[in-house]
Amino acid sequence: MSRRGFALLAVLWTLTAVTVLTAAAFAGARLGSTTTRNRVLLARAAWAREACAEILQARWASPPDPLSAMRRGGTTATLDSVDLGRGTWCSATLEDPSVKLNLNLADRPALVTVFQAVVHRAALVDSLVDALLDWRDPDAVPRPFGDESSGNRNGPFADVWELRYVRGFTDSLVAELTPFLTTRGTGAINVNAAPREVLAALPGITEETVSVLLMHRGSAMLANADALAGLLSPSARATLLASYPEFVRAAVFAPPQLVGVVTGGVRGTPITARVTLMTVPVAGRLAVIRRETE
């Protein structure tokens, strides 16, 4: 090959290298621009989220408002998409975890009662409940119908959907149980708002007592266990009073905690910022005791 050929080849390789480097520089610039834009959008979404948390607090403190139903014994309150201007929006939900049975705190009889409402085979209920208890307890000793495998957490459930990893639980079964179970809250059950399946898990509760509680929800909220006892027949009242200490420890008549999920975003983008707030209702406001930012 002549010297001209070598020179031409060198020029071509140089042009190729310059082209590749230029393309890489442009790609890096585009990536940097996209990253910067996403950071700006995420910051705007976070500010929208914080604004919605303040709106939630203000609505709670100023009845009548969309949250009034929760004060009367409702289970969930929602702030639909709120337009905050300049393309930002936010939404929020406020839920009462005491309308469900706490998966990490409930004892075996309470779990069996709730599971029987969904699973109508006694042997299967025993197997599922024992496997659940073996999953969450710290020891390695299996229960009669349980399972202490190496994959067990041996600690509290992170959320209800973790049940899918426990022996015997399928996705469809967990979906059926989800309306009645939670991993949040104090473990007490709100008798003014919990569904029939959860009320039945309380100590000293008969079918009559459950029916009375459900029928009474159209009127004023019950204030305490004595008010409930006054509505019952002698036999149902006697059953309640026989387990009175256990009942008053397990039951509440207003939500001790509320869980708020607040989301902020920018319209036209998929970017959102979310926070879960564990709150305690106190005089005229919601006291935030824990934040979980996503």
**Residue 80, domain member (yes or no):** yes
**Residue 130, domain member (yes or no):** no
Contacts 24+ apart (CB under 8 A), 130-139: 131/166, 131/167, 131/168, 131/169, 132/103, 132/163, 132/166, 132/169, 133/108, 135/165, 135/166, 136/103, 136/104
**Residue 81, domain member (yes or no):** yes
Residue holding tokens 């309640």?
A: 240
Closest residue by Cα to residue 82 from 268, 262, 273, 282:
262
Helices (H), 88-121: 108-118
**Residue 76, domain member (yes or no):** yes
Convert the pLDDT of each residue in 222-242 to its tens digit: 999 999 999 999 999 999 999
Contact by Cβ (8 Å): 225, 248: yes
**Residue 63, domain member (yes or no):** yes
Torsion of CA 194, 49, 282, 288, to 10 degrees: 100
pLDDT tens across the length of the chain (294 residues):
555 555 556 655 666 665 666 655 555 556 556 678 889 889 999 999 999 999 988 888 876 655 555 555 566 788 888 898 889 999 999 999 999 999 999 999 999 999 999 998 999 999 999 999 999 999 989 999 998 888 899 999 999 999 999 999 999 999 999 999 999 999 999 999 999 999 999 999 999 999 999 998 878 889 999 999 999 999 999 999 999 999 999 999 999 999 999 999 999 999 999 999 999 998 888 999 999 988
Cα–Cα separations (whole angstroms), residue 219 to 72, 212, 216, 250: 9, 12, 6, 23
Phi/psi-derived region of residue 268, left when phi > 0, alpha when psi is between -120 and 50, beta in every other case: left
Contact by Cβ (8 Å): 59, 82: no
d(CA 280, CA 259): 9
d(CA 96, CA 224): 18
Domain that holds residue 48: 3-96+256-293
Contact by Cβ (8 Å): 222, 216: yes
**Residue 38, domain member (yes or no):** yes
How many domains, the chain? 1
**Residue 42, domain member (yes or no):** yes
**Residue 266, domain member (yes or no):** yes
